[in-house]
Amino acid sequence: MANLATDFVGIKSPNPFWLASAPPTDKEYNVRRAFEAGWGGVVWKTLGLDPHIVNVNGPRYGAVWGADRRLLGLNNIELITDRPLDVNLREIKAVKRDYPDRAMVVSLMVPCEEDAWKTILPLVEDTGADGIELNFGCPHGMSERGMGSAVGQVPEYIEMVARWCKQHTRMPVIVKLTPNITDIRYPARAAKAGGADAVSLINTVSSITSVNLDTMSPEPMIDGKGSHGGYCGPAVKPIALNMVAEIARDAETAGLPISGIGGVTTWRDAAEFLALGAGNVQVCTAAMTYGFKVVQEMISGLSEWMDEKGYTSVAEVSGRAVPNVTDWQYLNLNYVAKARIDQDSCIKCGRCFAACEDTSHQAISMSPDRVFEVIDEECVACNLCVNVCPVEGCITMEPLAAGEIDKRTGRPVDPNYANWTTHPNNPGAVKAAE
Amino acid sequence: MSNTPLTPGVVAGRLSPEEYDRNFGDAYPPLDEHEALVAADRCYFCHDAPCIAACPTEIDIPLFIRQIQTGMPQAAGRTIFDQNILGGMCARVCPTETLCEGACVREAAEGKPVKIGQLQRFATDTVMAKDAHPFRRAPATGRVIAVVGAGPAGLACAHRLAMHGHDVVVMDGRDKPGGLNEYGIATYKTPGGFAQAEVEWLLRIGGITVKTGVRLGRELALAELREDHDAVFLGIGLAGVNALRAEGEAHDHVHDAVDFIADLRQATDKRRIAVGRRVVVIGGGMTAVDAAVQAKLLGAEHVTMVYRRTRERMGASAHEQLHAVSKGVQIITGAAPVRILGDGAVTGVEFAYTAEGKQGLTTAGESFVVPADQVFKAIGQKLEAAPGGLDLDGAKIAVTGPGRTSLAGVWAGGDCAIGGDDLTVTAVKEGRDAAEDIHATLMGAATVAAQ
């Protein structure tokens, strides 16, 4: 069986699955249950300075569902821990003492003043925690007070605070990034410049999940009003994957350890984050939806997959897909594929036809007895039919071999790689190497 | 009463009151809201959906299921009723496994179709529970149309005509309107007086007068109806039953299954309906199944259904056959009745094995006897007392297009007309389409097109 043990910036854990800083890691009771269930580590819910903050006393979460009410996205307006600092510190110490093999990272958020950080860091260090994560991501509530994403949106602040932390503690410093920014590379570069050991991302996305059409208030609604919250869960995974990849392939931040966060629900999601450069993953919504036991599927799935592929360590997986993430302009324009419909597995729902006929390229024909076939002369291989087909594997995109005629253009498939940078339609095209 | 399923002869009260209530309650209880949402989530919203094509009334099924999905069951109901005003009854009695659900792509994908019938019931029940009829009449046209027969075809026709602003007089020979919906369907498929409630709800469109206890050929004459009305629609069903043409048919406790089913439907207290200890049902259609299953539900110890051809040829769907078997009915196929045995009261039925060959069905000679103290004949119904002057096609009224008969101004639909297939939903379609044709004819095509 593959060894899932990880060493992330010197923090060891038996597997790469950590619980993210969030409601599931707010208390000793929860964290002990998590460790008993098999989680490799936790990032304790964000601590602040006393007096502790208060939360709303109405709903804290809103949701988006898919078919059969499967939770696809969760939004929260909960703030950082609402318990006294000393209670949290005491509990962190007790849990770490009892679970020395698990990663114990403590999330922190205090005002942007050096003294505030100087005050809290030794207190955390005293618990025996393995590291700290700077919460520069929370998009709601705390940001109005100049913390959370208010810091994360200003690279200079990130760099400054990261530097303070590195000066005032021996613990590894992970900077948690907000996605509520135009280009994720800037805060990542700032974190690195400040000396941070790693970044973790993404924090939640600013969001309103729904509107109550009776009361005309956003959900979750507190006494008739709603406030934007932070969106997470499977729905944000694509956003997170891209941001992780952006940092992993940026020349300035390449090699900076990344803890991947954002909609990790299964072993496969975790493997994808790893492949795009993460050294481990953090999970919250999946645990909040299904309970701590989900980690068992993640551990066994990842392990099984690694065995199948012959990977012996998580580090071996980490970053393997990064070289294949590129800019659009470098995509091979001579690569030609066509949709293929497997008639044996087709259930004749016609969704591919509707999608193609109404919204795409009229490249699927429909016979009176509901046989759906691809018209190669029209098919641009857009993949929409694959995406809307309810039967996995029924429609596939098959590349044409070099030399084969693309019936759409009437031209043979060129075996050579050629991209937009050299395309004659590109006004800024550079001439092929002379 | 101290009778049990083992009590010899034909007696009532074989079961406890609780058993009767359970047996004749809703066989397929309605979906609650959660169940409906879960079921609706399975619909793929197919393009040019096969389920629509499989529905004789062409209800836009993907649309109504999506409307349920998005929390608008009343809009879903409206989508259904637009095409099929008896969508509530059809949701209960349609052989969905051979129609919409049989065509559902999830039947192909997983062998488990979307529960279209039950979702339709959810939507139509939601609409019918509201204290308002969802359709309004067009301005009055001053035309009056006679509809003979208050079954599914007649009611669908009447409602559509009323919607278009015509006045309608619906006439029926029985005491209550509803036709087979009221008299011909197993009790457990439509309990709680649903058939009458549906008729009352349908009539709330206004402009429809119902006259019961009047029959064509007795109180009514087609010639007079034509004279007194702008058009006539005949939805008179098949009132006659086929004879067995087997010796001994006159013995006591040998009945037509349709009468047994009608009596059961009308009985407020099922305990008073007598049933044999050993019951034989002759026939292989829905009527035979409804009689056999209900005989079992009344407490008969042995119920045997005997059909002369193979199982595949049975009129009852595979689902219905399975239902019968699950209730303890034994099904024998490939045997035809030779004679009904008895001395006064029936004691058994002698059957001969059959073989299907080039000469049709032949009996091979070997025979057997099924003991019985009650026999139900369910070998088909036939048109009775077709008014003179109408061309027939075989044993049914000949029609062309949307129910036009050989007489000007007279339309026909449902089981009495050629094309009918003994299904409520087909009768509704024929009644509806005849109404549209009557409307177009009376108003002139141009006027209709301009509307």
Model confidence pLDDT, tens digit, residues B243-288: 888 889 899 999 999 999 999 999 989 999 999 999 999 999 999 9
Name every chain A residue with its beta carbon within 8 A of the beta carbon of B48.
350, 366
Is residue A379 located within the same domain as residue A276?
Answer: no
| Interface contact flag, A349 B44, Cβ < 8 Å | yes
Nearest residue in chain A measured CA to CA from B108? A347
Of A304, A324, A344, which residue is a domain's last?
A324
Mean pLDDT (whole number) for B27-37: 93
To the nearest 10 degrees (0 to 180), the angle between helices B194-203 and B116-128 is 60
Question: How far apart, in whole angstroms, are the C-alpha atoms of residue B158 and residue B175?
Answer: 18
If you measure CA to CA, which chain B residue comes closest to A369? B50
Query: Which structural domain range is residue A413 located in?
Result: 328-422
Chain B CA closest to residue A355 = B47
Contact B105 A353 (CB under 8 A): no
Q: Is B449 exposed, middle or buried (0-12, 13-18, 19+ CB in 10 A)?
A: exposed
In a 10 Å sphere around its CB, with 0-12 CB exposed, 13-18 middle and 19+ buried, how is residue A220 labelled? buried
pLDDT number for residue B448: 59
Nearest chain A residue (CA) to B44:
A349
Q: Is residue A432 domain-resident?
A: no
- Residues A264 and A374 reside in one and the same domain: no
pLDDT in tens, A287-319: 999 999 999 999 999 999 999 999 999 999 999
Spatial separation of the C-alpha atoms in residues B65 and A347, rounded to whole Å: 19
Digit-coded pLDDT (tens) for A184-226: 999 999 999 999 999 999 999 999 999 999 999 999 999 999 9
Chain B interface disruption, residue of A344, A346, A349, most B CBs within 10 A: A349
Best of B48, B52, B104, B105 to substitute, by most chain A Cβ atoms within 10 angstroms, is B105
Between CA A187 and CA A194 the distance in angstroms is 10
pLDDT reading at B356 higher than 90: no
The answer to whether the CB atoms of A390 and B109 lie below 8 A apart is: yes
How far apart are the CA of A401 and the nearest CA of chain B, in angstroms?
A: 32
**Cβ contact, residue pair B48, A348, below 8 Å:** no
Strand-pair partners of B10? B276
Q: What residue ranges define each of the domains in chain B, with the CATH number in brackets? A: 10-25+243-381 (3.50.50.60), 33-128 (1.10.1060.10), 144-239+384-450 (3.50.50.60)
A393 lies in some domain = yes
Are A257 and A302 within one domain?
Answer: yes
Write down the pLDDT at residue B449. Answer: 58
Please tell me the distance in Å from B197's CA to the nearest CA on chain A.
33
Chain A residues closer than 8 Å to B65 by CB? none
**Residue A145: pLDDT over 90:** no
Model confidence at A139, pLDDT cuts 50, 70, 90, reads confident
Pair A320, A335 in one domain: no
The answer, for A351 touching chain B at a CB cutoff of 8 Å, is yes
Using CA coordinates, name the residue in chain A closest to B51. A349
Strands B208-212 and B231-234: unpaired
Q: Using CA atoms, how far apart are residues B323 and B329, in angstroms rounded to an integer? A: 9
A427 lies in some domain: no
**Candidate from A67, A69, A348 with C-beta closest to B50:** A348
Contact A351 B44 (CB under 8 A): yes
Average pLDDT over residues B295-307: 97
pLDDT value at residue B358: 86
Please write the tens of the pLDDT for every residue from A30-88: 999 999 999 999 999 999 999 999 999 999 999 999 999 999 999 999 999 999 999 99
Residue where one domain finishes, among candidates A263, A293, A324 = A324
* A154 within domain boundaries: yes
The average pLDDT across A342-361 equals 97
Beta-ladder partners of A104: A42
User: From B62, which residue of chain A is nearest by alpha-carbon distance?
Assistant: A349
Same domain, A333 and A319: no
B49: its two tokens? 């959906």
Where is the domain boundary, A275, A294, A324? A324
List of chain A residues whose C-beta atoms are within 8 Å of the C-beta of residue B109: 347, 390-391
Question: Are A349 and B105 in contact (CB < 8 Å)?
Answer: yes
When scoring B33, B47, B52 by the number of chain A Cβ atoms within 10 A, the one with the most, hence best to mutate, is B47
Cβ contact, residue pair A370, B50, below 8 Å: yes
d(CA B285, CA B293): 12
Residues A282 and A356 in one domain: no
A68:B38 CB<8 A: yes
Any idea of the CA torsion for A87, A93, A94, A96, to the nearest 10 degrees?
140
| CA distances, A326 to each of A243, A330, B339 (Å) | 13, 7, 86
- Is A412 in CB contact (< 8 Å) with chain B? no
Residues of A in Cβ contact (< 8 Å) with B37: 69
Is the Cβ pair A391, B47 closer than 8 Å? no
Residues 6 or more apart in contact with residue A127 via CB below 8 angstroms = A89, A92, A93, A96, A104, A106
Query: Does residue A433 fall inside a structural domain?
Result: no
A201 part of a folded domain: yes
Predicted confidence (pLDDT) per residue in A246-279, tens digit: 999 999 999 999 999 999 999 999 999 999 999 9
Q: Are residues A206 and A319 in the same domain?
A: yes
What is the CATH classification number for the domain harbouring A379? 3.30.70.20
B364: helix, strand or coil: strand
Do A395 and A300 share a structural domain? no
Q: Are A270 and A261 in contact (CB under 8 A)?
A: no
Closest-CA distance of chain B to residue A378, Å: 20
> Which residues in chain A have Cβ-Cβ distances shorter than 8 Å to B105?
347-349
Domains in chain A, number? 2
Name the token pair of A215.
């009361």
Cβ <8 Å between B46 and A68: no
Q: Give Cα separations from B349 to B283, B297, B307, B337, B377 (angstroms).
A: 13, 22, 13, 7, 12
What span, in angstroms and rounded, lies between the C-alpha atoms of B22 and A433? 86
The answer to whether residue B1 scores a pLDDT higher than 70 is no
Q: Would you give the end-to-end CA distance of chain A in angstroms?
A: 52
Give the minimum alpha-carbon distance from A286 to chain B in angstroms, rounded to a whole number.
21
* β-strand pairing of A210-212 with A217-219: antiparallel
- My answer on whether A240 and A362 are in the same domain is no
Residues A356 and A315 in one domain: no
Residue B446 pLDDT: 54
- Regarding whether A32 and A105 lie in a shared domain, the answer is yes
Residues of A forming the active site? 138
Q: Is the pLDDT of residue B359 over 90?
A: no
**A353 CB near a chain B CB, below 8 Å?**
yes
- Are A134 and A165 in contact, with CB atoms under 8 Å apart? yes
A354 touches chain B (CB under 8 A): yes
Average pLDDT, chain A: 96
Q: Are residues A116 and A54 in the same domain?
A: yes
Q: Does residue A348 sit at the B interface (CB-CB below 8 Å)?
A: yes
Q: What tokens were used for B407?
A: 């007489």
**Minimum distance, in Å, between the CA of residue A348 and any CA atom of chain B:** 6
Instruction: Identify the band that residue B445 occupies on the pLDDT scale cut at 50, 70 and 90.
Output: low
Region B173-193: what's the mean pLDDT?
A: 93
Angle at alpha carbon of residue A422, lines to A417 and A426, rounded to 5°: 130
- List residues in chain B touching A: CB distance below 8 A: 37-38, 41-42, 44-50, 105-106, 108-109
Please give the DSSP secondary-structure letter assigned to residue B25: S
- Average pLDDT rounded to a whole number, residues B80-96: 97
How much is the CA Rg of chain B, to the nearest whole Å? 23
pLDDT at A434 (0 to 100): 46
Q: Is residue A430 situated within a structural domain?
A: no
Question: Is there a contact between B47 and A354 if contact means CB atoms under 8 Å apart?
Answer: yes
Which residues of chain A does B41 touch, with a Cβ-Cβ cutoff of 8 Å?
Answer: 67-69
pLDDT of residue B450 exceeding 70: no
CATH number for the domain spanning A209: value is 3.20.20.70
Q: Scanning every residue of chain B, which has its alpha carbon at the shortest distance from the alpha carbon of A65? A: B41
A382-427: per-residue pLDDT in tens? 999 999 999 999 999 999 999 999 999 999 999 999 999 999 999 9
Please report whether residue A431 resides in a domain: no
